[in-house]
Structure 1
Amino acid sequence: MTPGSQPPVPSPRLLVYYGGTFDPVHDGHLSIARAARDVLETDIRMMPAADPPHRAPPGATADQRAGMLDLAVAGERGLCVDRRELHRAGRSYSIDTLLGLRAEFGTRVPIALLVGADSFVDLPDWHRWRELFEHAHFVVAERPGSPLDGDLRPELAAALAGRWCRSPGQLRDAPAGRVLRLRQPLHGESATAIRARIAAGEPWRDDVPPAVADYIEHHRLYLNGGEAGGPDAPPRL
């Protein structure tokens, strides 16, 4: 640093939240979280959704799903579990979660939601979806053949105009409103398929962390069928 110059201003810390049912958490979830951690150079907070009141409960309770997440991230650098949605009554809408985060951290801190491309293309179905861009960035995890490369719904395409960013650093330059595509390794795991294989007595342990597999077996989870949890997607919208 030259005499009289000012020290560089550090980039704001980016807060990233990865929500989902995680019923159960599997290696594909962890692959997305690790890729985001490494690309964004920040911690990833895995945020299990509460038991949804509007449909049949997931195959495991909220506490069990959060417990499996604790086991999955134990010893994982930069991955942690955030239980905020389990502590809130009522439906787990993303807009409510973001409003709570803004009340906690203020309006200037960059916040991002990490979501899969399959969920992101259905963003217009989410509750108060246009407001989400006012409070957070989106990091969209995608694989080859991503639906982002196809024809987006016109209202979503219009909302995304001017929001795409090319580098992770751009997410730190504003508190919300930008979208980053995150390429991640191809994984074929699905919580729906894992539940179904457990119920059918087929091999499944290789698709989840060993500690999670032991937990599932110890608590005899998912033995009565894989349908209760529904699609492998967040119940929040």
Structure 2
Amino acid sequence: MMPRQAPIGILGGTFDPVHFGHLRPAVELLQHLGLAEVRLVPGRVPPHRPPPRVGPGQRLAVLREAVAELPGLRVDDRELHRDGPSFTVDTLCSLRQELGDRPLCFALGTDAFLGLPRWHRWETLIDYAHLVVMERPGHPTRVSGAFAQWLEARRTRDPYDLRARPAGQVYFLPVTQLDISATGVRRLLARGESARCLMPERAWRELAGRGWYGYPQV
């Protein structure tokens, strides 16, 4: 039996705007799990949060600048071309159709994972991809009830399992979680203050000079 190709990681979000709090965990996913790449997938209409502050084209432009010098990270804009809410299950189904039986690892934070039972068709996500839960080091995720039983039947503690099959496992990975938020970045920009060093320089220059989140900066 031929070994499978290295898994592809998927990390979604509004990226409104992207910052190092998004990018550092993506780099750690890439390295710790030996992924072929991590695709950052900006959503058009997030189902569980307010609409993004700026339009999809603007967020996409900044995101592309942010990953331009980060090998292994790339932007996948498929959700921006779909009408209606950006449901994760639709994105994973699309990727599965495109990539065949190549392993996929959909990464999400602890808060998102705990809210998973409220997601659209959440129980089918694992049919299309492995779930990788990004934890804060020293703060293990705790679940209870039926959700805990669902997790126990699918959890693996061996990262090799993410390579051995295309989908179906849940793996917990401690990652560096920087205390940076898109909300905080937007507030700085709206006040005309600099958000420099909170994101890659190329991304900062792309959004700051255009004043997309407030006053133009220099």
The two structures have a TM-score, normalised by structure 1, of: 0.83
Q: How many residues align?
A: 214
Q: Could you say what secondary structure the match of 1:47 adopts?
A: strand
Query: Which deviates the most, 21-30 or 161-170?
Result: 161-170
Partner amino acid for 1:116?
Answer: G
Report how far residue 147 of structure 1 moved: 6.1
Matched, 1:206 2:197: yes
Percentage identity across aligned positions? 41
Specify the code of the residue in structure 2 equivalent to 1:183: P
Query: Does the CA contact (< 8 Å) of 1:51 and 1:61 recur in 2?
Result: no
The 5-angstrom pairing of residues 155-174 of structure 1 reads 155-174=146-165
| Unaligned runs of at least 5 residues, structure 2 | none
Report how far residue 109 of structure 1 moved.
2.2
Cα RMSD of the aligned pairs, angstroms, is 2.1
Q: 1:144 — aligned with what?
A: 137
Which string of whole-angstrom CA distances, capped at 9 and with x for unpartnered residues, describes residues 182-227 of structure 1?
Answer: 2112411111111122223444222111111112211212228xxx
Q: What amino acid sits opposite 1:96 in the alignment?
A: D
How far off its partner does 1:13 sit? 2.9
- One-letter code of the match for 2:43? A
SS where residue 160 of structure 2 aligns?
A: helix
The equivalent of 1:18 in structure 2 is 11
Indicate the residue corresponding to 2:123 in structure 1.
Answer: 130
Which structure has more relative contact order (CA 8 Å, sep 6+)? It is: 1
The one-character-per-residue Cα deviations of 1:29-88 (angstroms, maximum 9, x if unpaired) are 110110001012121011111145897531121111111111111121111001111111
Q: What CA distance in whole angstroms lies between the structure 1 residues aligned with 2:21 and 2:56?
A: 20
Q: Which one-letter code corresponds to 1:32 in the other structure?
A: P
Equivalent residue, structure 2, for 1:112: 105
**How far 1:27 moved relative to its partner?**
0.6
Q: Secondary structure at the match of 2:131?
A: strand
Equivalent pair of 2:105/2:130 in contact (CA under 8 Å): yes
Distance, in Å, in 1 between the alignment partners of 2:9 and 2:70 is 16
Aligned twin of 2:170: 179
In 2: Cα distance, 1:119 partner to 1:193 partner = 19
Identify the residue that residue 190 of structure 1 maps to in structure 2: 181
Aligned with 1:58 (options 52, 57, 65): 52
Task: Return structure 1 stretches of 4+ with deviation > 4 angstroms.
Answer: 52-56
Deviation at 1:9, TM superposition (A): 3.3
Shift of 1:95: 1.1
Residues 155 and 40 of structure 1, relative CA distance in 2, 3 Å threshold: same
Unaligned runs of 5+ in 1: 1-7, 225-237
Task: Give the alignment's TM-score, normalised by structure 2.
Answer: 0.89
Asked if 1:83 is matched to 2:77, the reply is yes
> Which amino acid in the other structure matches residue 201 of structure 2?
P
What's the offset of the Cα at 1:94?
0.9
C-alpha contact 1:53 1:90 (8 A) present in aligned 2: no
Aligned pair partner of 1:49 in 43, 65, 70 = 43
Amino acid at match of 2:190: A
